[in-house]
Amino acid sequence: MNWILWREYRQHRAILITGAVLLVFPYLVVLLGYASNQLQGHASNWQTIQMAAEMSLMYSQLTLLLFAGSAIAGERADRSAEFLAYLPLAKSWRLAGKLLVAATLLLIIWGVTLGVAWTLKGPATSALHETQAGFFVMVAAVGLALFGVAWLASSLLSSSVYAVLAGLLAPLLLMVLFRGVDTMLFAQQRHHGALLVNVGFPVTCALVGASCFVAGTLYFLNRVEP
């Protein structure tokens, strides 16, 4: 397993480094702003930290998207999939390595964000936390769609670029679809339209993402390489 994890790290090193930058960058911007305010004698607003956490979470979804798109298709692009097919290594172990890396990314991204949100629980109002909860649910649903569709495309294709593009387009197309239905059917009933978009969209994203992830996993395990 150690060899598998080390191989996954080497294959996705650029993505992991990019992910670290995307995760930390918003906080660095806030830290620089805080230092500037301190030097100028201005008070710092804790809400900027909340904004940094939200931006960090959204940017980090791109890390999961890039990893999912490259996880399987990247092996075909560099021909390592053919090499691995000749090794006495079960595909289930290769899959376990990829999923362990993905789970680690997920835990780090959400752990940092939720940790910051919990730290801000004192100064924040209950209304703000209700807004945060809705934001977290939406990001999680969209992130699942990004990851799941890219994972399925990666299992089917030999191009990481196309797999990432498929994952990126999926929630965008779903949002266009829901906005179109909202405009056509609920133009005069804004409450129903908001319910459709705010509830129907994330639920659909989650279902699509989960379904595509399962389908991609089964296809990967049963496909004969190359």
**Of 6-20, 36-50, 124-138, 191-205, highest mean pLDDT:** 6-20
Show Cβ contacts of residue 168 under 8 Å, excluding neighbours closer than 6 positions: 65, 146, 150
- This prediction has a pTM of 0.87
What pLDDT is attached to residue 127? Answer: 42
Q: What is the mean pLDDT of the chain?
A: 84
What are the pLDDT digits (tens) for 42-101? 555 667 788 888 899 999 999 999 999 999 998 887 777 666 666 767 788 889 999 999
User: What are the angstrom distances between the C-alpha of 93 and each of 140, 203, 213, 214?
Assistant: 27, 31, 17, 17
Is the sign of the CA dihedral 43, 44, 47, 51 positive or negative?
Answer: positive
What pLDDT is attached to residue 11? Answer: 87
What pLDDT is attached to residue 76? Answer: 80
Alpha-carbon span 196 to 174, nearest angstrom: 12
Residue 190 token pair:
């804004």
| End-to-end Cα distance, the chain | 23
Alpha-carbon span 100 to 130, nearest angstrom: 31
User: Is residue 10 over pLDDT 80?
Assistant: yes
